[in-house]
Structure 1
Amino acid sequence: MAAAVDYNLSAGDLDEIYESCKNWGRWGVADQAGTLNLLTDDVRAKGAASVKLGRAISCAHDFPVSPSAETPVPGCHHMITAGDARDSSGIPGYEATQDYVGTNVHGLGITHIDALCHMFVRGEMYNGFLPADVRSNGGALRNSIMAAVDNLVGRCILIDVPRVRGVDYLEPHQTVTVGDLMAAEEAQKVVVEPGDMVIVSTGRDARRVAHDGSLSPFFQGLAGLHPECARWLKDRGVTVLGSDGISDHMPAGPVAGWPFPIHQIGITAVGLHLIDNMHLLDLAEACAEVGRWAFQLSVAPLRVVGGTGCPVNPIALL
């Protein structure tokens, strides 16, 4: 099993980062959108202006329906009406098929977005809302995925860390630092600006290919971001953080109380929506081919009232 990564930070250090990153009250005491408040009409227009070729690239994996090392509990897809029963409705001339899809939204294999009700720190979620606001019957009363259903279109920057480091992929023990983020900006000749979405590639897809199939995040681990990156993302005004992993390391971090600091600080303190388990191999290759790492990204969660997140198929438009 992979060893937990040592960030050389104490619990007190992480407490300080958490408090310094809080956006609570910045957009009002009732706010449930977090950094999506920075994704304005002008920012979305800037995203549209970044489209030069019209090339569309999916950044999602196939919906998992079979158990694997990455998705031990997969989603469910079964037929309600298959082709052999297409005309069984009793309505003359009506021939159709139907199916059912269901899943645990979160996990280490399915491409999904986290709502701000997904994470708590010491019994509080973003903007100080409490556990009672997420009910077993009906879901989240506050900070649900509904805050993100009509605004996730804008300019996005791919931070291709393996490319900048000159490797195919990061090993699980390797950490993406603030220095990596800034080095990528310089190498890719792009600057992350307020309102931008950011995707960080660790090369997980290439690592999977190199090992002839899926790798268990529980045993082989995942590379992730250093907790100080949360402060950088907040200071830059990033609206959404995506990754080919979960942005955090696997196994969970070694500091007591802070197992997944990017999730805990990013979602709960900053109010940052995270997209986990993105497929980035095709996007990284396309960006390198055209020499441009800024593009329009469109993400459309389902309108699940009370949802803690949603499977998504992010589309990059170069």
Structure 2
Amino acid sequence: MSDHSPTTPPDGPRNGPPVSGREFDVLFDEVRTWGRWADAGRGAWNRVTAGHVRTAVSLVRSGTVVALGRPWDTVPGPDNAKPALHFMSDLGDVEAPEPSAHKDFIGADYHGKAVSHLDAPAHIAYRGRLYGGGAARELVGAGGARFGDVAALGPLVTRGVLLDLPAVLGTEWLEPGRAVHAADVLAAEEALGVTVGEGDAVLLRVGRFRRRRELGAWDPGEACAGFHVGAVPLLAGRGVALLGSDGDSDVRPSPVEGVHSPVHALALAAMGVPLLDNLDLEALSAACAEAGRYAFLLVVAPLNIPGGTGSPVGPVAVL
């Protein structure tokens, strides 16, 4: 077992040399896809065609269904600064015709480190611009987003690919602060026998919730394993439609000077690629290992929230 503190990588942050703001802007322009699709508000989800869906469905063999969403987390902690709400609104104790009913209320400020959720393109602006170049100040207000909202995306059904880095490296998890580089992605593809392709949903497992269960919670906003910005051009070149992780895809601390969530900026604002944050990928890791394959049918059905910058989700993988 690791005896490192929850927020300190074993050998310091393995992020490589710092990336300057100027270098990041060049990278942003390199992967930017503004103007590529007529339905710009759907961003990279435009890549997923009926053919992609048929291919994904053809991957179902055993019929094993794996839930990827975390339990609704109402307990405050270092990784849950804004706990979700759940209380009963009707206990069926008021005299009424049969049958009696029990009802409950749930609510969450879900953009954080606890709730499994989808980030729509409207969630992130870089230098004041949303995906496609529109001014965030003009397109997102008190009434919600008028461009790139989650309602414009609809459900996504496509091929999912699990990049299980701890399995590849022979570890239980990646320590917080460990950056996943392009070379790691290529090594994972070779070791796992899978290749990321056009329209795929790429899920990165770093073992966050295995570590949390064994060593306790920490603040992943301060330190978490995730993609280095140098890995993004590879994923962009493959034409991915969705990125997800058991973290939030970004390695933290950020390797980019002055940009706290650079992968979010590249994925959402430059490429229009939605993000899945805070997935629990432990059961999927075990299922993929047992099946001997790391590609599967992925189904994501966000809530239909007009103007929403994202949605809580409970994605499902089917092998």
TM range (shorter): over 0.9
- Counterpart of 2:281 in structure 1 is 280
Match in the other structure for 1:154: 158
The equivalent of 2:3 in structure 1 is: none
Distance, in Å, in 2 between the alignment partners of 1:126 and 1:196 is: 20
C-alpha separation in 1, matches of 2:221 and 2:199: 34
> What is the Cα deviation at residue 228 of structure 1?
1.6
Aligned to 1:36: 45
Query: Is 1:216 the equivalent of 2:225?
Result: no
Deviation at 1:244, TM superposition (A): 0.3
Per the alignment, residue 77 of structure 1 pairs with: 86
Q: How does 1:219-238 map to 2 (within 5 A)?
A: 221-238=223-240
8 A contact 2:228–2:255 mirrored in 1: no
1:22 equivalent in structure 2: 32
Post-superposition CA distance 1:116-136 (Å, at most 9, x none): 000011100100121211111
In the aligned structure 2, how far is the partner of 1:147 from the partner of 1:169?
Answer: 35
SS at structure 2 position matched to 1:100: strand
Whether the 8 Å CA contact 1:5–1:254 is kept in 2: the answer is: no
Q: Which letter does structure 1 place at the counterpart of 2:34?
A: W
Per the alignment, residue 68 of structure 1 pairs with: 77
**Unaligned stretches of 5+ in structure 2?**
1-6
- What CA distance in whole angstroms lies between the structure 1 residues aligned with 2:221 and 2:150? 27
**Which amino acid in structure 1 is aligned with residue 24 of structure 2?**
L
Which AA in structure 1 matches 2:285?
A
Residues 212-257 of structure 1, C-alpha deviations (whole Å, 9 max, x = no match)? x3222245x2111110222111110100001000111233x25333
Q: Distance in 1 between matches of 2:255 and 2:174?
A: 20
Normalised to the residue count of structure 1, the TM-score between the two structures is 0.93
Distance of 1:175 and 1:269 partners within structure 2: 21
Provide the rounded CA distance (Å) in 2 between the counterparts of 1:218 and 1:273.
19
Aligned partners of 2:221, 2:75: CA distance in 1, in Å?
Answer: 18
Q: Say how many residue pairs are matched.
A: 308
* 1:135 alignment partner in structure 2: 141
8 Å CA contact 1:188–1:292 kept in 2: the answer is yes
Instruction: Give the alignment of 1:43-192 within 5 angstroms.
Output: 43-83=52-92, 85=93, 87-88=94-95, 90=96, 92-131=97-136, 132-136=138-142, 138-150=143-155, 152-192=156-196
Instruction: Report the equivalent of 1:242.
Output: 244
Letter of the structure 2 residue corresponding to residue 163 of structure 1: A
Amino acid at match of 2:206: T
Mapped to 2, the partners of 1:230 and 1:217 lie a distance apart of 21
**Percent of aligned positions with the same letter in both sequences?**
37
Does the 8 A contact of 1:5 with 1:249 survive in 2? no
2:113–2:221 Cα contact (<8 Å) kept? no
Report the CA distance between 1:5 and its aligned residue. 5.9
* CA–CA separation in structure 1 for the residues paired with 2:221 and 2:301: 29
